Amino acid sequence: MPNEGSFQEAQRRSDEAWRDLREHPERHVMLSGDRPTGRLHLGHYFGTEAQRVELQDMGATCYILVADYQVITDRDTTEHIRENTCNMVLDYLAIGIDPAKTTIFAHSQVPALNQLMLPFLSLVTEAELLRNPTVKSEQEASGHALTGLLLTYPVHQACDILFCKGTLVPVGMDQLPHIEQTRQIAHRFNRRFGEVFPEPVALLSDVKLLPGLDGRKMSKSYGNAIDISMTAEETAKLIRKSRTDSERKITFDPENRPGVSALLTTAAICSGRSPEEIADEIGDAGAGALKAYVTEAVNAFFAPIRERRAELERDMDYVRDVLHEGNAKANRVADETLGQVLEAMGMVY
């Protein structure tokens, strides 16, 4: 009997879910989300966002949440949260998330979703919370004390996923422990109180993590991320000042030439070519030529998305309407689920 929580099992379930999704998209509910800490960048886009659009267009029921409460798991301020949330919705619409098909909402605006936290917390142990490797590494990276919210945010994420009876959660590897925890919560709730929730599956994909322009992890704080919302000129400027090395001949060698190789990877993903092929083509023309090539590839790929974004930006009332309607829909769904939860627990008076 393979270990229920093992990576191989998660991969097997994911493969099976992909197959079922292709045949019966209408049976699936996809839920996914992001913390509104800044703009979406190319790492987000090629990592998960493009896939959400694909799932939406396949015909699954889709929810995308702005995880605003999760912003304060490891920081002290909610400064810019309104602006970031609106910009996140704008980014979603620009990349092709269609509010007629996908419910976009902010989890702070859905009280019944948050109330699921109480019964769910009763279904997990202190030891389970403390051994979550992602929580641990996030706490270390933040340099903050482990707050109660950071410790329990995987349970909050279970509320996000289960309020709409999500079956599929497209995630990167770092989120896998949270999906395992969600499955356990669903399983334990159903066993203790009666069948209410599906056990959701992490939908894994083989997309490789796109590095930042300097080869390190892409992050706003490193200044190595190209945002979807940047102009062509801002993109060119960021690429121009990215660090390469003194060797003229361009080769793809991520180990020894992180800067040059990250530029090649970025160009490759935007142009649909391989990094080696691009390196060969540029050859002895050097880093300047490489940078010109990357700039052209990124700007060409994102031109239609950026154009759409600029158009939408002129009508922020519409963007807010999308969010308000999404919140209203999420509230209807959450109220119904909470009703079922209270009924299963016999708390109907």
Q: Please, what is the minimum distance in Å from the beta carbon of residue 175 to ligand TRP?
A: 6
List of residues contacting ligand TRP (CB under 6 A): 31-35, 67, 70, 157, 160-161, 169, 171
Nearer to ligand TRP, 163 or 293 (CB): 163
Q: Please, what is the minimum distance in Å from the beta carbon of residue 169 to ligand TRP?
A: 5
Q: Which residues contact residue 11 at a Cβ distance below 8 angstroms, ignoring those fewer than 6 apart? A: 204
The enclosing H or E element of 237 equals helix 232-240
Task: State CA 138 to chain mean position distance.
Answer: 16
Report how far residue 15's alpha carbon sits from residue 204's, in angstroms, rounded to the nearest whole number: 8
Q: Please, what is the minimum distance in Å from the beta carbon of residue 166 to ligand TRP?
A: 8
Q: Confirm if 212 and 46 have CB atoms less than 8 A apart.
A: no
Q: Taking each helix axis from N to C terminus, what angle separates 81-95 and 316-344, rounded to the nearest 10 degrees?
A: 100
Bridge partners of residue 198, in order along the sequence: none
Q: Please, what is the minimum distance in Å from the beta carbon of residue 135 to ligand TRP?
A: 11
Q: Please, what is the minimum distance in Å from the beta carbon of residue 172 to ligand TRP?
A: 8
Quick one: residue 56, left, alpha or beta (phi over 0 = left, psi -120 to 50 = alpha)?
alpha
Q: Please, what is the minimum distance in Å from the beta carbon of residue 137 to ligand TRP?
A: 12
∠ CA 58-61-66, rounded to 5°: 110
55 residue type, one letter = L
Nearer to ligand TRP, 164 or 263 (CB): 164
269 residue type, one letter = I
Q: Please, what is the minimum distance in Å from the beta carbon of residue 256 to ligand TRP?
A: 31
Q: How many CB atoms lie within 10 A of CB 342?
A: 15
∠ CA 161-134-107, rounded to 5°: 30
Nearer to ligand TRP, 120 or 301 (CB): 120
Nearer to ligand TRP, 67 or 176 (CB): 67
Nearer to ligand TRP, 160 or 180 (CB): 160
Q: Please, what is the minimum distance in Å from the beta carbon of residue 30 to ligand TRP?
A: 10
Q: Which residues contact residue 34 at a Cβ distance below 8 angstroms, ignoring those fewer than 6 apart? A: 40, 44, 66, 67, 88
- Looking at 13-74, which runs of residues are DSSP E strands? 29-34, 61-66
Q: Please, what is the minimum distance in Å from the beta carbon of residue 48 to ligand TRP?
A: 8
Report how far residue 336's alpha carbon sits from residue 332's, in angstroms, rounded to the nearest whole number: 6
Nearer to ligand TRP, 67 or 238 (CB): 67
Nearer to ligand TRP, 171 or 218 (CB): 171
Nearer to ligand TRP, 154 or 259 (CB): 154
Nearer to ligand TRP, 35 or 291 (CB): 35
Tokens describing residue 275: 């990094």
SS3 of residue 92 by DSSP? helix
Comparing every residue's Cβ against ligand TRP, the nearest one is 67
